[in-house]
Amino acid sequence: MLLNSHLIVGSRPYGEQVCDIRITNGIITELGSDLEPGNLPVIQGSGLISLPSLVDLHTHLREPGREDAETIASGSRAATLGGFSAVFAMANTTPVADTAGVVEQVWRIGRESGLVDVFPIGAVSVGLKGEALAELGAMAASAAKVTVFSDDGNCVSDPLLMRRALEYVKAFDGVIAQHAQDPRLTQGAQMNEGELSGILGLTGWPAVAEEAIIARDVLLALHVDSRLHICHVSTAGSVAIIRWAKEMGVRVSAEVTPHHLLLTEDLVSSFDPIYKVNPPLRSRADTLALREALADGTIDIVATDHAPHPHESKDCEWDSAAFGMLGLETALGVVAVAMAGIPDWSWRTLSDRMSSAPAKIGRAVNHGRPLAVGEPAHIVFVDPQKTREVIPTQLASLSGNTPYAGMTLPVSVTDVFFNGVHQVRGGELNG
Amino acid sequence: MKHLISVQDLSHSDTLHILDTARELDRVTNGGSKLLPTLRGRTVVNLFYEDSTRTRLSFERAAKRLSADVVTFSAKGSSVSKGESLKDTALTLKAMGADMIIVRHPSPGAAHRLAHAGWLESSVINAGDGKHEHPTQALADALTIRAHLRPDAVDFDGLTIGIVGDVLHSRVARSNIFLLSGLGAKVVVIGPPTLLPVKIESWPCTVSYSLDATLPELDAIMMLRVQQERMNGTFFPSELEYSRVFGLNRARASSLPDHAIVMHPGPMNRGVEITAEVADGSRSVITDQVSNGLKVRMAAMYLLIGGEVNVA
């Protein structure tokens, strides 16, 4: 009896040639035409596109502390339904993931949920306060083997602390993921600063507050020759700085969220806090620059910044509402909408930006692997013809704060294999 | 029209209709000495999350002149100060049967949320939402300008109106820029660049950093209040420097054309943005703005919820 073994026939890996896929004991063991099933269960994949499962370098699972908004288990369900095999859980929990104890707890609960691999991100500074380095080495050496460190939610704004963090993580091949937001330039900020923020009377979040930090940090990373990752890049100016930094040889990578690729600030005119997010939704010109940068590789990856919040945190006036929106279950569809019509964008490019590249940045060696013989069977099947309406109450997340409610996405995740386990079937969690 | 949230929701004819109604209501009530039964049996709630004696009293008097029952719900001494959400307050007011809610709130868009979030069905008038808008103040100002400068004309074509000071934080300025320009006036905003919103060049107004250079062109000048909390040195160096450059004193007032009027939405900082001499001088129409505020608020209530009832 073979466990976690299947033959999936007729799908098109990366949207290219039709190819059958044999999975044996959780490993891809054969690819080709007209494979013999033997005694394996056969799954019909014709019409579907097969891709390596997705990897999210930026997820808020809220546990420990805000289990009313999301838990590691519910977030894992949302992740697998969205086609992910691995998520990196941000450190801004309560307590903060700034010690080996907390990151090991998150890692263990993730293992117990068993639907995706949960990689905890460690805080850069104690309590995310930006004052003293957290125990980065202890977190790296823990069972959770932390490689990504971030104060996300807060910017590491002190340049000296940022420099030290970049230097310190070189000892264990870590990377600092910066939430680029100058705190002084964004005091009380509520939305993108521009013509609309002035008219609406909402305090502006200027692009320069992001760009100035990125410019500083790429220079620091160059100076100390360390790895820097920029979270949720949101402006055309940031793209230009990152492009320049890469030309200069800086070891910098960057992410963009699905919502910054698709949505624009004019939605804020509704004063509906479902559109309140940090960094804020920007202008149309920014979204176009971000799409182009994602296609040409200046921006390396898509990351969701999945940020669940309970209903009451959004059912209020704008200023009082929480920042953030859900992302895991809609990421693939939203990226498909945003990137439609961009030259040179293909399923293979998408697979790089949403699977192999984020896995490499996070050093998740068993994820983001190609669909090839000998690789772990983390595979997502996508129906490129099957549309799906986003209905907040039907999401697996404990929260419903999706800005896409009522929107019809052009593609659907139908089946997901995790280590060869067929855990999502027909878009539903198995059992 | 069910709500009055932003002057940008008003068409040109809506605006004129409100102004005409204000004048007409003033006439039929003999300047307010006679009550109208229009809103008898209807409940108007004054929901004030910020201190504002002037605006609250103005709405209250306007509602009473139309015979409405007025309930005042102020943040002080109510459940609001215990942390009740806007939504829960809205649900409470709904249960109490409020026909109209007049809301003053520090958050931009709060009135819009109250009107459109699905919490209640009442009509909503925005009595000031953060830095966003204060539509009845702008309507009062338009009525004042009309009475003094365009008594016989419909529009403000040919008028140049200066708005001076802290436009960045002013809901009165926002509502006035859009309302007055919509009526055909040329609006000039004047202030230090730190107190003007970015990209204001794309609004329907022109920008000047020099009050002295602009004064001779103005038919009306509106001085904005400088909030105490802006005087901490991050927006401008000092109160003294501000008033030296942007304060309206007797010498500056004498550079205005003879017919020009001086306005202020109140409350004033005498000696900062305007001297007492000018505030109390012959050009000042500041008290007219207050009485016109009452008239336009009556008109807005009458048009929003008075239409459906038969006057006995």
Nearest alpha carbon to residue A339 among A287, A391, A412: A287
Is B199 an interface residue toward A (CB < 8 Å)? yes
Q: How high is the ipTM of this complex?
A: 0.94
Reading the block at residue A42, the tokens are 């056969």
**Residue among B117, B133, B200 whose CB faces A198 most closely:** B200
Given pLDDT bands bounded at 50, 70 and 90, which one contains residue B311? very low
d(CA A20, CA A34): 7
Nearest CA in chain B to A203: B131
Encoded tokens for A428: 């539903």
Residues B131, A317: C-beta atoms closer than 8 Å: no
B204 interface with A at CB cutoff 8 Å? no
- A184 burial class (0-12, 13-18, 19+ CB within 10 angstroms)? exposed
Nearest CA in chain A to B201: A195
B140 to chain A, closest Cα gap in Å: 20
* Chain A residues touching residue B171 (CB < 8 angstroms): 201
Closest CA of chain A from B72, distance in Å: 21
Catalytic residues of A: 305
CA angle (A248, A253, A255) in 5-degree steps: 135
Chain B residue with minimal CA distance to A202? B108
Smallest CA-to-CA distance from A362 within A84, A157, A102, A94 is with A84
- B174 to chain A, any CB pair closer than 8 A? The answer is yes
Q: Chain A partners of B117 at a C-beta cutoff of 8 Å?
A: 272, 315
* Cβ distance of A197 and B203 shorter than 8 Å: no
Query: Could you tell me which of A223, A216, A208, A222 has the C-alpha nearest to residue A178?
Result: A216
- Ramachandran class of B218: left when φ > 0, alpha when ψ lies in -120 to 50, beta otherwise: beta
Q: Taking a C-beta distance cutoff of 8 angstroms, is the pair A277, A323 a contact?
A: yes
Structure tokens at B184: 């055909």
Give the DSSP H or E segment for A28.
strand A27-32
Separation between Cα atoms, residue B53 and residue B58, nearest integer Å:
8
B203–A201 C-beta distance less than 8 A: no
Q: Going by C-beta distance under 8 Å and a sequence separation of 6 or more, which residues neighbour residue B190?
A: B162, B163, B164, B165, B207, B208, B209, B210, B211, B214, B246
Angle at CA of residue B120, ends B114 and B126, nearest 5°: 30
Q: Do A317 and B107 touch (CB under 8 A)?
A: yes
From A170, A164, A172, select the one nearest A140 (Cα to Cα).
Answer: A172
Q: Which of B116, B7, B25 is nearest to B63 (CA)?
A: B25
Angle between helices B12-28 and B171-182 (to 10 degrees): 100
Query: Residue A3: what pLDDT?
Result: 78
* DSSP H helical ranges for A271-422: 284-296, 331-339, 347-351, 357-361
CB–CB of A318 and B105 under 8 A? no
For B249-264, what is the mean pLDDT?
A: 98
User: Of residues B56 and B152, which shows the higher confidence score?
Assistant: B56
* Residue B108 to residue A193, Cβ atoms within 8 A: no
- Is B104 within 8 Å of chain A by CB? no
Q: Kindly indicate the confidence band of residue B310, based on its pLDDT and cuts at 50, 70 and 90.
A: very low
Q: Does B87 touch chain A (CB under 8 A)?
A: yes
DSSP characters over B81-92 = GGT--HHHHHHH
Amino acid B308: pLDDT? 46
Nearest CA in chain A to B129: A201
* B107/A194 CB distance under 8 A: no
Indicate whether B1 pLDDT > 90.
no
Tokens 């509106």 map to which residue?
A: B222
Contact B203 A195 (CB under 8 A): yes
Cis geometry, peptide bond prior to residue A258 (ω within 30 degrees of 0)? no
Instruction: Read off φ and ψ for residue B271, nearest 5 degrees.
Output: 95, -10
Q: How far apart are the first and last CA of chain A?
A: 21
What's the pLDDT score for residue B78?
60
* Alpha carbon distance B164, A315 (integer Å): 37
pLDDT recorded at residue B82: 64
Residues of A in contact with B106 (CB under 8 A): 319
| Contact present, A40 and A22 (Cβ < 8 Å) | yes
- Listed residue (B49, B76, B73, B41) closest to B60, CA to CA: B73
Pick the closest to residue A219 from A210, A231, A228 (CA basis): A228
Average pLDDT over residues B186-205: 97
Please check the confidence at residue B233 and state whether its pLDDT lies above 70.
no
pLDDT in tens, B294-305: 999 999 999 999
A199:B203 CB<8 A: yes
Rounded to whole angstroms, the Cα distance separating A156 from A164 reads 11
The answer to whether residue A31 scores a pLDDT higher than 60 is: yes
- Could you give the CA distance from residue A72 to residue A87 in angstroms, rounded to a whole number? 10
**Full set of structural domains in chain A with CATH:** 6-49+375-429 (2.30.40.10), 52-361 (3.20.20.140)
Across the interface, whether the CB atoms of B198 and A199 are under 8 A apart is answered no
Chain A hits for B108, Cβ within 8 Å:
190, 200-202, 271, 318-319
Cβ B187 vs Cβ B175: under 8 Å: no
Report the predicted TM-score, pTM, of the whole model to 2 decimal places. Answer: 0.95
CA gap B186, A188 in Å, rounded = 33
**Taking CB atoms and an 8 Å cut-off, how many pairs form between chains A and B?**
74
pLDDT for res B306: 87
Q: What local confidence, expressed as pLDDT, does residue A258 receive?
A: 98
- The count of other CB atoms within 10 Å of the CB of residue A426 is 9
- The distance of Cα A37 from the centroid of its chain, to the nearest Å, equals 36
In A285-344, the residues whose Cβ lies within 8 Å of chain B are: 312, 315-320
Q: Is B9 on the interface with A (CB under 8 A)?
A: no
Q: Sheet with A20-24: list strands edge to edge.
A: A27-32, A20-24, A6-9, A42-44
> Looking at the partner chain, which of B110, B171, B198 has a beta carbon nearest the beta carbon of A198?
B198
pLDDT digits (tens, 9 = 90+) for A104-161: 999 999 999 999 999 999 999 999 999 999 999 999 999 999 999 999 999 999 999 9
> In this complex, do A201 and B174 lie within 8 Å of one another by their Cβ atoms?
yes
CA of A192 vs chain B CAs: smallest distance (Å): 11
DSSP per position, chain B: ---B--GGG--HHHHHHHHHHHHHHHHHTTTTTS---TTTT-EEEEEESS--HHHHHHHHHHHHHTT-EEEEEESTTSGGGGT--HHHHHHHHHHTT-SEEEEEESSTTHHHHHHHSSS--SEEEEEEETTS--HHHHHHHHHHHHHHH-TT-SS-TT-EEEEES--TT-HHHHHHHHHHHHTT-EEEEES-GGGS-TTGGGSSSEEES-HHHHGGG-SEEEEPPPPGGGTTTTSSS-HHHHHHHH-B-HHHHTTS-TT-EEE--S---BTTTB-HHHHTSTTB-HHHHHHHHHHHHHHHHIIIIITTSPP-
Query: Do strands B43-48 and B100-105 pair parallel, antiparallel, or not at all (unpaired)?
Result: parallel
Query: Residue B312 pLDDT more than 50?
Result: no
A416 phi and psi angles, rounded to 5 deg: -135, 130
Cβ-based contacts of A319 with chain B (< 8 Å) = 106-108, 130
Query: What domains sit in chain B, N to C, each tagged with a CATH number?
Result: 7-132+291-306 (3.40.50.1370), 135-288 (3.40.50.1370)
> Average pLDDT in the A218-238 region?
98
Q: Which of A190, A201, A315 sits opposite B171 (nearest CB)?
A: A201
CA–CA distance, A240 with A236 (Å, rounded to integer)? 6
What residues of A are in contact with residue B85 (Cβ under 8 Å)? Answer: 312, 315-316, 320
Summarised one tens digit per residue, pLDDT across range A374-422 is: 999 999 999 999 999 999 999 999 999 999 999 999 999 999 999 999 9
Distance from CA of B231 to the nearest CA of A (A): 17
**Per residue in B72-126, pLDDT tens?**
988 765 666 667 889 999 999 999 999 999 999 999 999 999 999 999 999 999 9
B32 — contact with chain A (CB < 8 Å)? Answer: no
Q: Which residues share a beta bridge with A409?
A: A388
**CA pair distance B272, B244, nearest whole angstrom:** 9
Q: Which position has the token pair 């306005």? A: B263
For A188, the closest chain B residue by CA position comes to B107
Q: What is the mean pLDDT of chain B?
A: 93
Measured between beta carbons, the chain A residues lying within 8 angstroms of B86 are 316-317, 320
Residues of B in contact with A208 (CB under 8 A): none
DSSP symbol at A110:
H
Asked whether residue A345 carries a pLDDT value surpassing 60, the answer given is yes
Q: Tens of pLDDT along A297-319?
A: 999 999 999 999 999 999 999 99
The nearest CA of chain A is from the CA of B41 a distance in Å of: 30
Distance, CA of A181 to CA of A155 (rounded, Å): 6
Alpha carbon distance B103, B50 (integer Å): 10
**pLDDT, position B81:** 61
Q: What is the pLDDT of residue B153?
A: 84
Judge: B130–A201 Cβ closer than 8 Å, yes or no: yes
B130 with A320: Cβ contact below 8 A: no
**Cβ B89 vs Cβ B80: under 8 Å:** yes
B91 interfacial to chain A (CB closer than 8 Å) = no
Tens of pLDDT along A166-209? 999 999 999 999 999 999 999 999 999 999 999 999 999 999 99
